[in-house]
Amino acid sequence: MKPEELFREIDDFCQANTDQAIVKKYSRYFKDGYNGFGVSTEAFELKLKSILQDPGVDLNLLLKTAPLLIKTKRFEETSFAIHILKSFSKQFTRDTFKEVSKWFEIGIINWAHTDFICGDIMLIFFKMEIISLQDLDKWRIAKSKFQRRAVPVS
């Protein structure tokens, strides 16, 4: 599978499962605006499981697909990138950390994704001793307020 194919599969799924009632519900939690499709949690989890069962989906594919998903700045597409990444945590390397660092520059635009990255992804990097606190020094002065927030939250 190619990154563009995985992106298209996820995007098509999100568009087919749009629910304006969910968009309205979650909009009140995002003061900077909620840019989402309104995919239900149940549908999201089923699709995530389906994607992860595909033998063609691996960490390398995700790292190439994630920028496509995150650039849309749509809530569910970015969420797919983060959740799929987490499933490959045993394969994390320093290069994986460098790729995640770039995500803030291209489209991590809300506190929910920032906190999920910090609490679930960064924790793994620290536990596996892939990074240390000094690796977040550049994040403290990043253009993205979400990347700056990730330092103390991590």
User: Which tens digit of pLDDT belongs to each residue from 87-103?
Assistant: 999 999 999 999 999 99
- Calculate ∠ Cα 107-109-114, nearest 5°: 105
Tell me the per-residue pLDDT of 39-96, one tens digit each, with 9 for 90 and over. Answer: 999 999 999 999 999 999 999 999 999 999 999 999 999 999 999 999 999 999 999 9
CATH 3.40.190.10 fits 3-153, yes or no: no
Q: Are 81 and 117 in contact (CB under 8 A)?
A: no
By CB neighbour count within 10 A (0-12 exposed, 13-18 middle, 19+ buried), where does 96 fall?
buried
Q: Supply φ then ψ for residue 35, to 5 degrees.
A: -110, 80
Q: Could you tell me the pTM of the whole model?
A: 0.93
Average pLDDT over residues 11-29: 93
Between CA 104 and CA 93 the distance in angstroms is 18
pLDDT score at 31: 78
Residue 4 has pLDDT above 90, yes or no: yes
pLDDT score at 28: 86
pLDDT-derived band at 154 (thresholds 50, 70, 90) equals confident
Average model confidence (pLDDT) across the chain = 95
pLDDT score at 71: 97
